[in-house]
Amino acid sequence: MKKSLLATAVTLACGAVMSNAVHAADWSDTSLSWRYGPDFTEPGNSNDIRKHIVGLTHVSGYKYGSNFFNVDVLTSDKKDPANNSTNGAQEIYLVYQTQLHLSKISSVKPAMGPISDYALSAGFDLNSKNDAFAPRVRKFMIGPTVKFGGEWGWADLSLLYYKEKNHNGIVGKAVDFDPTWRVAGAWGVKLPTGPVPMSFNGFFTFTGEKGKDGFGNDTEQETLLNMYLMTDVSSFMGAPGKVLVGPGYEYWKNKFGASSSTAGSRTSTAMIRVEYHF
């Protein structure tokens, strides 16, 4: 794992929190999470892989819009080995997104029915993993977002320009993918479960073909879905919103754009997730 990327993740995490303190964020939420799934996959690997994932997430709203930051540390079992090792690989994956909200940067009040606002979204992903493939994802995305909201919760739907660079350690070269498009969505829905506070949260992305991969193969359209049914267990102890626990599910078709005929290109795994908010 690249120390420089880890240092970048820590710096950005601290910077996001400090920036909101300096600029008096309208609201913010920071959480630590752990999730586990037994049936993750990796393209080119026919095994089902157990992964433990520890994450740090920060979301906030400020004068002109909102910020989202997440960094995950993923640890695989030995079926997804580190390079030249029988131990499981480790990966760090960082996501940052910022939005400029139309209602905050202008006098326009765009609320109409379930639509609460419009936004310009921009962000990037970075990763590093210590397996033989040695990926170094560098993704950039920008595009318009329709925002939905109400007493029921919130949802975002975006159409994004998508550009990715990566590294293929098997053939020993950098890969500069073609620009493409991405449809992305995320949601947080409050469930009417009476005295037991519950929510249904998640995100999806649908990404177009991005040209040739590092092996010279054509990439395919990629679908990723993550969703969770979370229970606010700390509400029973007089501290609502502090500790959430629940089951989840991940579906990933043509992972990283790999062909559907490639072993390990499709993930379908149940998960368990625990969050602590502070």
pLDDT number for residue 110: 84
Residue with tokens 């629940």: 246
- What are the tens digits of pLDDT across the range 224-237? 999 999 999 999 88
- What are the tens digits of pLDDT across the range 114-168? 999 999 999 999 999 999 999 999 999 999 999 999 999 999 999 999 999 999 9
The SS3 call for residue 255 is helix
Of 278, 167, 271, the C-alpha closest to 226 is 271
**The amino acid at 56:** L
The SS3 call for residue 249 is strand
- Across residues 240-258, what is the average pLDDT? 97
Residue with tokens 């819009």: 65
Output the six-digit token pair for 215: 């092996």
Q: 200: which strand partners?
A: 189, 229
- What are the tens digits of pLDDT across the range 196-235? 899 999 999 999 999 999 999 999 999 999 999 999 999 9
The pTM for the full model equals 0.89
Q: How far apart are CA 224 and CA 277, in angstroms?
A: 26
The mean pLDDT value of the chain amounts to 92
pLDDT number for residue 101: 97
- Across residues 86-115, what is the average pLDDT? 94
The SS3 call for residue 188 is strand
| DSSP string across 139-166 | EEEEEEEEEEEETTEEEEEEEEEEEEEE
Q: How far apart are CA 129 and CA 196, in angstroms?
A: 39
Q: How far apart are CA 137 and CA 124, in angstroms?
A: 10
pLDDT band at 23 (very low <50, low <70, confident <90, very high): low
pLDDT band at 111 (very low <50, low <70, confident <90, very high): confident
pLDDT higher than threshold 50 for residue 16: no
The SS3 call for residue 208 is coil
Q: Helix, strand, coil proportions of the chain in percent (round to 5)?
A: 10, 60, 30
pLDDT number for residue 109: 83
CATH number at residue 86: 2.40.230.20
The SS3 call for residue 235 is helix
Inter-residue contact 150 to 114 (CB < 8 Å):
yes
β-pairing, 198-207 vs 45-62, is unpaired
Q: What percent of the chain has pLDDT over 90?
A: 85
Q: 88: which strand partners?
A: 81
pLDDT number for residue 15: 53
pLDDT higher than threshold 70 for residue 20: no
* Domains held by the chain: number: 1
* Enclosing domain of residue 206: 3-277
